[in-house]
């Protein structure tokens, strides 16, 4: 049965779940100074976890798949997944490990976010754990590029095998976000590849178009490569086609909080692509939703 435009799609996002300790400050602190935050709170974080929040706010059926530490933060994370209607039932709970934490400083003057992250010992997901999922439940599976590229590659292989066997085809995407050289090994493993400005600059690219052309040579035939680039908006192109599409950035009246702008962009872009909207349209929607997010604290209000 074909899905009508209003029917919810089933998304699975695979990657990190952590706690972000958010600190909003009047101005960015100087070294070795004693400061007061104008606001401070815990927020569920991690790219895949943030992708889930946004997809759920946008009205989709959403599941997260990532390891979670059985530590003091577990209750907070589970309550928050429930609050956003995100299914976390499949997540392996790991004993005797620490929950990854980020200290985020959000500068009130320009909304910039400075993150100090630490992941002491939470094990990454394995493709063995992934193989236990019932993939028939999902229309689209998105992967955050984690350090465990071999495991992620194995998970994408499981989806390829599923797609060969069944009529139902699961679409896939991967985000190459962090400044890790090994992430490029995932470039030919999915239908849609997101390349962040940070990752591209680590590879020596200072123009989004150059990063796009680089990854178009590395991706699968007919895959889509998308490069969001902060205030410059985003570009995207389908491998094998000539046209490069651009979207400008959509600035809010005041930039309040840019933490998770990239995660919001990815989530709204995959939602649009899952509904077969043209790439140019998907880029524009994603820049609009990400721009809106930059004008609010957190994610509530995205719709
Ligand atoms: P990340 O959060 O991964 O660093 P980017 O900074 O590249 O991601 O931002 C992703 C998208 O969010 C951009 O393509 C843009 O559409 C939007 N965005 C980022 N910063 C701003 C901003 N200051 N104002 C409006 N939109 C923004
Ligand atoms: C935002 C984010 C935060 C997390 C950090 C990890 O993109 O996922 O929620 O603390 O990045 O690097």
Q: Give the model confidence (pLDDT) of 93-114 as tens digits.
A: 999 999 999 999 999 999 999 9
Ligand with minimal distance to 255 CA: 1
ipTM exceeds 0.95, yes or no? yes
Q: What is the per-residue pLDDT for 5?
A: 53
Percent of the chain with pLDDT over 70: 98
Ligand with minimal distance to 112 CA: 1
Question: Could you give the CA distance from residue 278 to residue 273 in angstroms, rounded to a whole number?
Answer: 7
Q: Does the beta carbon of 267 sit less than 6 angstroms from any atom of ligand 2? A: no
Query: 125 — phi, psi (to 5°)?
Result: -60, 150
Question: Could you give the CA distance from residue 132 to residue 124 in angstroms, rounded to a whole number?
Answer: 16
Quote the Cα angle for 26-28-32, to 5°. Answer: 120
Q: What is the mean pLDDT of residues 62-67?
A: 98
Torsion from C-alpha of 196, 200, 201, 206, nearest 10 degrees: -100
Q: What is the per-residue pLDDT for 4?
A: 47
Q: What is the mean pLDDT of residues 202-231?
A: 98
Ligand with minimal distance to 211 CA: 1
Q: Does the beta carbon of 249 sit less than 6 angstroms from any atom of ligand 1? A: yes
Q: Return the residue whose CA atom lies nearest to atom 2 of ligand 2.
A: 46
Q: What is the per-residue pLDDT for 118?
A: 98
Q: Which residue matches tokens 């209750």?
A: 75
Q: Does the beta carbon of 145 sit less than 6 angstroms from any atom of ligand 1? A: no
Q: What is the mean pLDDT of residues 17-21?
A: 98
Q: What is the per-residue pLDDT for 129?
A: 98
Q: What is the per-residue pLDDT for 234?
A: 98
Lookup: tokens for 144? 């955050």
Ligand with minimal distance to 46 CA: 2
Question: Could you give the CA distance from residue 108 to residue 100 in angstroms, rounded to a whole number?
Answer: 25
What is the 25 CA–ligand 2 centroid distance (Å)?
18
Paired with 103 in beta bridges are: 21, 116
Q: What is the per-residue pLDDT for 3?
A: 44
Question: Strand pairing of 171-176 and 18-25?
Answer: unpaired
Ligand 2, closest atom to CA 47?
8
What is the 2 CA–ligand 2 centroid distance (Å)?
36
Question: Cβ-count burial of 181 within 10 angstroms (0-12 exposed, 13-18 middle, 19+ buried)?
Answer: exposed
Q: What is the mean pLDDT of residues 48-73?
A: 98
145, 249, 296, 302: which to mutate for ligand 1, most atoms within 8 A of CB? 249
Ligand 1, closest atom to CA 255?
23
Quickly count: other Cβ atoms within 10 Å of residue 80's Cβ: 18
Q: Give the model confidence (pLDDT) of 288-303 as tens digits.
A: 999 999 999 999 999 9
Q: How many residues does the chain have?
A: 303
Ligand 1, closest atom to CA 177?
3
Give the DSSP per-residue string, the chain.
-PPPTTSPPEEEEES--EEEEEEEESSPPPTT-----SEEEEEEESHHHHHHHHHHHTT-EEEEE--EESSTTHHHHHHHHHHTTEE-TTPPEETT-PPPEEEEEEETTT--EEEEEE-SSPPPP-HHHHTTS-GGG-SEEEEE--S-HHHHHHHHHHHHHHHHHSSS--EEEEEE-SS-GGGGGGTTSSSEEEE-HHHHHHTT--SHHHHHHHHHTTS-TT-EEEEE-GGG-EEEEETT--PPEEE-----SS----TTHHHHHHHHHHHHHHTT--HHHHHHHHHHHHHHHHTSSSSBTB-
Q: Does the beta carbon of 102 sit less than 6 angstroms from any atom of ligand 2? A: yes
Q: What is the mean pLDDT of residues 240-248?
A: 98
Confidence of residue 2 (pLDDT cuts 50, 70, 90): very low
Q: What is the per-residue pLDDT for 150?
A: 97
CB 188 within 8 A of CB 214: no
What is the 262 CA–ligand 1 centroid distance (Å)?
6
Question: Could you give the CA distance from residue 140 to residue 135 in angstroms, rounded to a whole number?
Answer: 10
Percent of the chain with pLDDT over 90: 98
Q: Return the residue whose CA atom lies nearest to atom 11 of ligand 2.
A: 46
Q: What mean pLDDT value characterizes the chain?
A: 97
Question: Could you give the CA distance from residue 73 to residue 49 in angstroms, rounded to a whole number?
Answer: 15
Q: Does the beta carbon of 47 sit less than 6 angstroms from any atom of ligand 2? A: yes
Q: Give the model confidence (pLDDT) of 126-165 as tens digits.
A: 999 999 999 999 999 999 999 999 999 999 999 999 999 9
Quickly count: other Cβ atoms within 10 Å of residue 143's Cβ: 27
Question: Could you give the CA distance from residue 101 to residue 99 in angstroms, rounded to a whole number?
Answer: 6
């Amino acid at each position: 049965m074909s899905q009508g435009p209003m029917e919810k799609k089933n998304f699975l996002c695979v990657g990190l779940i952590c706690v972000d300790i958010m600190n909003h400050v009047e101005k960015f602190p100087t070294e070795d100074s004693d400061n007061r935050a104008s606001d401070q709170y815990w927020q569920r974080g991690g790219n895949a976890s943030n992708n889930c929040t946004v997809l759920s706010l946008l009205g989709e059926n959403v599941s997260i798949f990532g390891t979670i530490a059985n530590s003091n933060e577990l209750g907070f994370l589970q309550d928050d997944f429930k609050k956003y209607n995100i299914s976390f039932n499949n997540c392996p709970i790991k004993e005797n490990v620490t929950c990854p934490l980020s200290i985020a400083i959000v500068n009130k003057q320009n909304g910039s976010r400075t993150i100090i992250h630490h992941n002491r010992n939470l094990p990454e997901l394995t493709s063995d754990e992934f193989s236990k999922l019932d993939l028939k439940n999902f229309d689209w599976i998105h992967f955050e590029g984690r350090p465990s590229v071999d495991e992620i590659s194995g998970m994408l292989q499981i989806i390829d095998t599923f797609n060969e066997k069944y009529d139902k085809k699961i679409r896939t995407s991967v985000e190459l976000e962090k400044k890790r050289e090994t992430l490029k090994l995932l470039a030919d493993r999915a239908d849609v590849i997101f390349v962040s400005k940070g990752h591209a600059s680590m590879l020596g690219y200072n123009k989004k178009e150059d990063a796009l052309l680089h990854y178009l040579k590395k991706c699968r035939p007919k895959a889509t490569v998308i490069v969001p680039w902060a205030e410059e908006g985003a570009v995207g192109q389908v491998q094998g086609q000539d046209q490069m599409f651009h979207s400008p950035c959509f600035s809010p009246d005041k930039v309040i909080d840019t933490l998770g702008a990239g995660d919001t962009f990815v989530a709204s872009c995959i939602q649009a692509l899952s509904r077969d909207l043209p790439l140019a349209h998907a880029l524009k929607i994603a820049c609009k939703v990400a721009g809106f997010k930059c004008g609010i604290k957190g994610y509530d209000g995205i719709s």
